[in-house]
Chains A and B, each alone.
Chain A
Amino acid sequence: MIHTLVERLPLDWLQYEFMQRALCAIILLAPLFAILGCLVINSQMAFFADAIGHSALTGIAVGVLAGLEQPLWAMLLCAIVLAVALAWLRYLQLAPGDALIGLMVSFTVALGVVILSRQGGFQRYTRYLVGDILTITPTDLYWSALLTFAVLLSLGWKYNHIVVMTLHRPLAASRGVRVWATDVLFSTLVAISVTLSIAWMGLLVINSLIILPAASARNLARSAVSYVWLAVVISVTAGVSGVIVSYYLSTATGATIVLCAMALFLLSTLLRR
């Protein structure tokens, strides 16, 4: 009986291997982004995460200039340097305003495009802009599993300190939290997660995957525990439904996931207490 029930479910999208892999990747990465998102929103660093994502383009350009086959390491380096630089500016109480971060986004994108277009092969790199989770390989899957595991482990280690820091920096400092080190750790974790996922998710949508589930959860949650778990549930729901909808509508998967997350966000606004 269960067999006939399963047969009658619309699961034909799952018969393709690339769909199965995409689903695995979403289930691995969505919770990671959700938890990071909760902290990013708390510390009002949404724009910062965006800037980190855009520095990837410069990273690719630097990698190409250095003659690297895979620009991944250059992307990582660029993102981490930018993350630490911004953390340092915050520590010196020179908190970069919106304008400065916006300026940096424009600069890194323009620099990347200029260098890459001079090489004549800019088309090759557009996958970093849109991303395609359907092209994810089994090796990529292992990497994303490793990434999720490593980042969650580091987060678990200093999660409480990051929460106090994002809530109130002087308060955290007075309770023995090393604000500078904690900020660098957190910024670097965001930088690594965003950069490694860009090839799968795409630069244009990755930030919304961080922001939307956490923003929805914030509408509904009453405690820090429910905040995180609601964000995880919303994130996975949006991810899985986005993969399925994009299969039936033949649309770009990353963008479809974002639209699903947006729909859930609107729903959470209606249900807001």
Chain B
Amino acid sequence: MKAPTNSSVPHRVEVAPGYVACGECCTRVEGLSVRLQGRTILENVNLHLHCGELLTIIGPNGAGKTTLLRALIGEVPHTGTLAFYAVRAGHSVGKAVIGYVPQSLDIDRGSPITVTELFAAVVARRPLFLGVSQHVCALARRHLALVEAEHLADCRLGLLSGGELHRVMLAFALTPMPDILLLDEPLASVDHAGVVAFYRTVASLRAQRHMAVIMVSHNLSEAAHISTRMAFLYRTIVCEGTPREVLAHPIVRSTFGVIAPPAD
């Protein structure tokens, strides 16, 4: 385990009012670069976050925010590393379990598949066309209950509303329970009540399970409200810090205009 570098107290790091990191695990993204079609999308991205933290990535369109998340889950060819340090039951864990909630709109909504079957496709070995076992059905319901979406278990994926699909995707990202949760624009296409419910769930995951969350967002004032830290991305991390610091940064101001910092 590596000691957290930006903190004078090695254990029980206060990262934001109400949230306490256990100080025993941290995530480091080191020198991450992505080149696609001869174009540099990301160059030398470095991030460091503790468990329980919520880091929001902001940046203009085409800055590489979604590509960063896709590189972190290993779907986009990249250089650089994602390292996860944790002490669990006395030994360190090198490989983080990552949960990922994509932008909902690019899911194939025409495909006939139910929510439970989607769970089975990931956790079960039995081919889907031979049916889903009772055990997996129960598991799916348990995980859906975490996001208050139990009633959607037998719904067809294509028939869910934007908010419902997002909660299902969150439950899906929690199977198995991840160390790091990646959220790509969780606010898009969700109504206000849905947003509140979604963030309540995310907050309890961070508090109870010490989950680190990296979120991409366009809604700066809302993101500033719930984040412990923010980072402005344009090919690389341009600036990083508390929401108040980042929103006051000249580059952020010239990109997004002046945004009121969150009230303490």
Name A residues whose Cβ lies closer than 8 Å to a Cβ of B. Answer: 35, 42, 44, 91-94, 155-156, 159-161, 163-164, 166-175, 177, 179, 217-218, 221-229
Given contacts A93-B76, A170-B69, A221-B112, 15 further A-B contacts (CB under 8 A): A156-B127, A163-B113, A164-B121, A166-B108, A170-B70, A170-B75, A173-B70, A173-B73, A173-B100, A174-B73, A218-B112, A223-B113, A224-B111, A225-B129, A225-B131
Enumerate chain B residues within 8 angstroms of A163, measured Cβ to Cβ: 113, 121, 128
Please determine whether A160 and B173 come into contact, CB atoms closer than 8 angstroms: no
Enumerate chain B residues within 8 angstroms of A228, measured Cβ to Cβ: 128-129
Please determine whether A174 and B111 come into contact, CB atoms closer than 8 angstroms: no
Q: A35-B129, A218-B112, A222-B156 are in contact. Are A170 and B124 (CB under 8 A)?
A: no
Inter-chain CA distance A152–B37, complex, in Å, is 36
Enumerate chain B residues within 8 angstroms of A94, measured Cβ to Cβ: 36-37
Please determine whether A159 and B108 come into contact, CB atoms closer than 8 angstroms: no
Enumerate chain B residues within 8 angstroms of A227, measured Cβ to Cβ: 111-113, 129
In the assembled complex, the CB of A100 is this many whole angstroms from the nearest CB of chain B, namely 13
B36, B37, B74, B121: the one contacting A173 at CB < 8 Å is B74
Q: A171-B102, A171-B172 are in contact. Are A93 and B36 (CB under 8 A)?
A: yes
Tell me, yes or no, whether B182 is within 8 Å of chain A by CB: yes
Q: A170-B100, A228-B129 are in contact. Are A222 and B112 (CB under 8 A)?
A: yes
Q: A93-B76, A168-B106, A221-B112 are in contact. Are A174 and B127 (CB under 8 A)?
A: no
Inter-chain CA distance A168–B99, complex, in Å, is 14
Q: A42-B111, A164-B121, A167-B113 are in contact. Are A174 and B131 (CB under 8 A)?
A: no
B36, B70, B73, B114: the one contacting A224 at CB < 8 Å is B114
Q: For residue A167, which residue of chain B has the nearest CB?
A: B108
Q: Mark B108-143, 1 if CB is under 8 A from A, else 0.
A: 101111100110111011011111100000000000
Please determine whether A155 and B127 come into contact, CB atoms closer than 8 angstroms: yes
Enumerate chain B residues within 8 angstroms of A229, measured Cβ to Cβ: 129
In the assembled complex, the CB of B105 is this many whole angstroms from the nearest CB of chain A, namely 11
Q: For residue A220, which residue of chain B has the nearest CB?
A: B112
Q: For residue B97, which residue of chain A has the nearest CB?
A: A176
Enumerate chain A residues within 8 angstroms of B124, measured Cβ to Cβ: 160
Please determine whether A159 and B129 come into contact, CB atoms closer than 8 angstroms: yes
Q: For residue B156, which residue of chain A has the nearest CB?
A: A222
Chain A CB within 10 A, most for which of B36, B113, B172:
B113
Q: For residue A218, which residue of chain B has the nearest CB?
A: B112
Please determine whether A42 and B108 come into contact, CB atoms closer than 8 angstroms: yes
Please determine whether B108 and A225 come into contact, CB atoms closer than 8 angstroms: no
Inter-chain CA distance A149–B32, complex, in Å, is 44
Please determine whether A170 and B73 come into contact, CB atoms closer than 8 angstroms: yes
Please determine whether B112 and A174 come into contact, CB atoms closer than 8 angstroms: no
Enumerate chain A residues within 8 angstroms of B172, measured Cβ to Cβ: 171, 175
Inter-chain CA distance A171–B120, complex, in Å, is 14
Inter-chain CA distance A20–B121, complex, in Å, is 38
Enumerate chain A residues within 8 angstroms of B173, measured Cβ to Cβ: 174
B107, B110, B128: the one contacting A225 at CB < 8 Å is B128
Enumerate chain B residues within 8 angstroms of A93, measured Cβ to Cβ: 36-37, 76
29 residue pairs from A and B, CB less than 8 Å apart = A42-B108, A42-B111, A92-B36, A93-B76, A155-B127, A156-B127, A159-B128, A160-B121, A161-B121, A163-B121, A167-B113, A168-B106, A168-B107, A168-B108, A169-B75, A170-B75, A170-B102, A171-B102, A171-B169, A172-B75, A173-B70, A173-B100, A174-B173, A218-B112, A223-B112, A224-B128, A225-B132, A227-B129, A229-B129
Inter-chain CA distance A223–B128, complex, in Å, is 10
Question: Shortest 3 CB-CB distances between A and B: which pairs?
Answer: A174-B100, A173-B75, A228-B129
Q: For residue B175, which residue of chain A has the nearest CB?
A: A175
Q: For residue B158, which residue of chain A has the nearest CB?
A: A222
Please determine whether A160 and B182 come into contact, CB atoms closer than 8 angstroms: no
Please determine whether B111 and A167 come into contact, CB atoms closer than 8 angstroms: yes
Q: For residue A43, which residue of chain B has the nearest CB?
A: B108
In the assembled complex, the CB of B182 is this many whole angstroms from the nearest CB of chain A, namely 7
Inter-chain CA distance A227–B107, complex, in Å, is 18
In the assembled complex, the CB of A179 is this many whole angstroms from the nearest CB of chain B, namely 6
Inter-chain CA distance A94–B35, complex, in Å, is 12
Please determine whether A91 and B77 come into contact, CB atoms closer than 8 angstroms: yes
Please determine whether B74 and A160 come into contact, CB atoms closer than 8 angstroms: no
Q: For residue B98, which residue of chain A has the nearest CB?
A: A174
Enumerate chain B residues within 8 angstroms of A155, measured Cβ to Cβ: 127
